[in-house]
Amino acid sequence: MNKHLRILLPLILLLTLIIGTSTPAGAATIRTAEVSVSMLNVRTGPGTSHTRIATVTVGTILPVLAEQSGWVQILLPDTRTGWVSGKYVTIKDQQPTQTAQVTTSTLNVRTGPGISFSRISTVTAGTILPLLQKEGDWLQIRLASGQIGWIHSTYALLSTISVPSQPQQEGAVNVSVLNVRTGPGITFSRVTTVSENTKLIILQTQDDWLQVRLPSGQNGWVFRQYVTLAQQSAPAPSPIPEPIVSDPSEDPVPQPVLQRYATVTVSALNVRTGPTTNFESFTSLPQGAIVNVLDEQGGWLQVRLHDGRTGWLAGWLVTVSSRTGYSPSPVAGKTIVIDPGHGGANPGAVGLNGLRESEVNLAVSLHAAALLRQAGATVILTRDSDQALSLAGRVAIAEAANADVFVSIHANAHPSDIIGGTETYYYQYKTNSSESKQLAAGLQAELVAALGLRDIGVKHGNFHVVRETTMPAALVELAFLSNATEEAMMHTETFRQTAAEAIFRGLETYFREDAGTGSTVFI
């Protein structure tokens, strides 16, 4: 086999989820760049002013992640990303090969092939992941955040991707703003939005959804009703009534489903890695704790814990109930103030390549606010545009709202350009400092797991907005603008959406912490 092809095949698998989480059988090709000069520099950003991190030789074929101003972002064989000049590469299409579709409600993603490895994330039923390799009963996959992880093969359905048998169609967005999602349904996360008249390449159809390629090269799913296909002179008439949608930028409302819940009836109950007492206990639940039931086997129940992990508990030590509808998020009914740091004439830190902290803070905050509102929370933004606002004014907004929590979002900077990572602050001398620390810890844990950056930790910080607010408060520092690699990440929509989702999960963790402890542990 040609040496370049041997390098390319695993990289194609790696790339599939960077382009889009959902890439089922029949998906379209991905783009590659073949080096056309004897030696080509790979840089940290799209320009010769950026640091050189590697060189590649003539004939090397690399997956394409993005294009910008004549430069091409590629994926190196060691999984690093970088930029090369578009003048010296030939862009081609290649076909991905195999995917794994999640078949259980929630599935842990671990750092290695076994339950002894730590959990880095979870994925939900229907999520389709590019398959990198197999080891025993475990599958190595790549997440949308770019992280590589392992899932158990019992809970995944493998599919081989084939070349589309028909030419690709084109379409155009026919509403003002349209959500693009990682899969064919509103339960999949939103990766971006596209505006009216945006041209899309149609990759495949699934029920009322279209998988499309955006002008940026990214793949995603959109609701079919809001795309006019190229061969249509007008939107096709519908033989049935159109779904009622409150806003054309939103997707149709899903139908309710039957869900089962288990309530612990003993003072403390072990949660195990499998459905017998022979399996290891990794945590316990106090009396009264309520968890979602996923499966049942031999009197044991598989449940989803509040931190997203799954495990098994003895079914005879709980009461099981069910109801129709969606399990309410723990943020539902809460009043949450999101504070995008800086703004207006105060841009905050400015990156090596000019990215302003105030822009990053606002983008992540707007994404987080949307997720929280969808989950039923009342969200108040201290600013929703690039405007100046005093520290005292931010505190006054939170106090006037009688908020349950206050979260301030920032990006970091350091004199050394090699320093990077994520950290979260709270003020330890408030009457509710323990709650503030708990809030900060939940946010930090989710951000580190999602972004994959260095865990700097949870710290005391004497910042005005966390010191003067009376409700539990935390201030997150997402990443370092002074670090070229992290600045490049913060430029991307993927980073901003991923960070927002992590903040959302951190707030869910904070609001659903179980109260009470038990002295006796059963099973």
321/318 Cα distance (integer angstroms)? 10
Nearest to 341 by CA among 454, 511, 463, 436: 463
- Taking CA atoms, 334 is separated from 47, 177, 310, in Å, by 46, 28, 26
Residues 227/212, Cβ–Cβ less than 8 Å? yes
Nearest to 269 by CA among 305, 237, 241, 238: 305
Number of Cβ within a 10 Å radius of residue 55: 13
Classify residue 26 by its DSSP letter.
T
Give the bridge partners for 138, in sequence order: 135, 152
Q: Compute the radius of gyration of the chain from its Cα atoms.
A: 24
E strand spans, 114-185: 119-124, 128-135, 138-142, 148-152, 156-160, 169-173, 177-181
The sheet with strand 258-264 has its strands ordered as 281-286, 268-272, 310-314, 300-304, 290-297, 258-264, 318-324
For residue 319, the SS3 value is strand
Give CA 26 to chain center in angstroms. 24
523/272 Cα distance (integer angstroms)? 9
Instruction: State the amino acid at position 467 in one-letter form.
Output: R
199/197 Cα distance (integer angstroms)? 6
Instruction: Show which residues are catalytic.
Output: 477
